[in-house]
Amino acid sequence: MALIDGPAFTKNSWLVVGGIILLTFVLFFYLPFLYWSKRTTAWKLWAFDHVDDVHELKIVALQAHLFPLYGSAMDQLQIQSTKEREQWAKLQERFQFRGNFIDDSSIPAETNIYFSKLELSLNILLGLFISSIGITALYLSSIKASTIWVKLIGFAFALAPWYMIIATFKNLLNRKPQLTLNKTGLYTWDNGLVPWDVIYDIEVTATQRRNFIKYTLHFKYPGGIVNKEITELDTNRNKLERLIRVYRGRLNSGS
């Protein structure tokens, strides 16, 4: 509007606008990006040079968004000196070899993972809350003239959550482990025990679902593909991935 409908810009006006744009770019983009580049570069050069297992560090650090993947667009855009880029490229040689397995004595010989009572209880309370909103809407529509659409919406809110409530309550009463991990393999309630030596492409993924994140364990084996949701289990992504690495490591190292 200033350019089209306002008065014609003088040379000094353009200099002022250009100066403001340049200052804004430097203060709010270049300097923060420079700080982020130098901090993440310093950390990754130190961390990957001192850690024993660079493969495990890479998995955890990428999930936490501590640094961009080597060779990616963001890695190329980072502001780094020639020496820093040479050091980072040199450290990539460590990824050609598997690190020595370091066991975690805090992890038992076998781990059973059950449904999370807290997570399921919160889901039931949420369902009851939504249902109560629908019941309240139906009550208010009965004592005050309302359109059919208001009654239908209230009816849907009152009844729809009960499918989730009943299904969640059944899981709450389930006392059987949904996942069992040991150095032999991985047991799931749906697929039974699958040995580690036939499992491949195993990962835990996160999918955004409206206002919450759904976590799913994926892996393949000669018998098929397993997709096991772990959102309602008493574990999380980092813990489960740590268990997988430790138990597979125990098998491979013979410990």
Q: Report whether 223 contacts 194 (CB < 8 A).
A: yes
What confidence category does residue 129 fall into, taking pLDDT thresholds of 50, 70 and 90? very high
Q: 165: helix, coil or strand? A: helix
The pLDDT of residue 1: 56
The pLDDT of residue 26: 93
What confidence category does residue 138 fall into, taking pLDDT thresholds of 50, 70 and 90? confident
- Tens of pLDDT, residues 149-206: 777 888 888 898 899 899 999 999 999 999 999 999 999 988 889 999 999 989 888 8
What confidence category does residue 83 fall into, taking pLDDT thresholds of 50, 70 and 90? very high
- Tens of pLDDT, residues 29-46: 999 999 999 999 999 999
Instruction: Please state, in angstroms and as integers, the Cα–Cα distance from residue 76 to each residue in 29, 58, 69, 169, 194, following that order.
Output: 17, 18, 10, 50, 41
Average pLDDT, the chain: 87
The pLDDT of residue 4: 64
* pLDDT over 90 (residue 124): yes
The pLDDT of residue 2: 59
State which H helix or E strand residue 193 sits in: strand 192-195
The pLDDT of residue 117: 93
* β-pairing verdict for 200-209 and 212-221: antiparallel
* pLDDT over 60 (residue 134): yes
Percentage with pLDDT > 70 across the chain: 92
- pLDDT (average), residues 219-244: 91
The pLDDT of residue 72: 87
The pLDDT of residue 71: 86
* pLDDT over 60 (residue 110): yes
Give the C-alpha separation, 37 to 74, whole Å: 10
- pLDDT (average), residues 127-155: 83
What is the number of other CB atoms lying within 10 angstroms of the CB of residue 61? 19
* pLDDT over 60 (residue 98): yes
DSSP 234: S
The pLDDT of residue 24: 93
* pLDDT over 70 (residue 63): yes
What confidence category does residue 5 fall into, taking pLDDT thresholds of 50, 70 and 90? low
Q: Which residues, 6+ apart, have CB-to-CB distance to 184 below 8 Å?
A: 193, 195, 196, 251
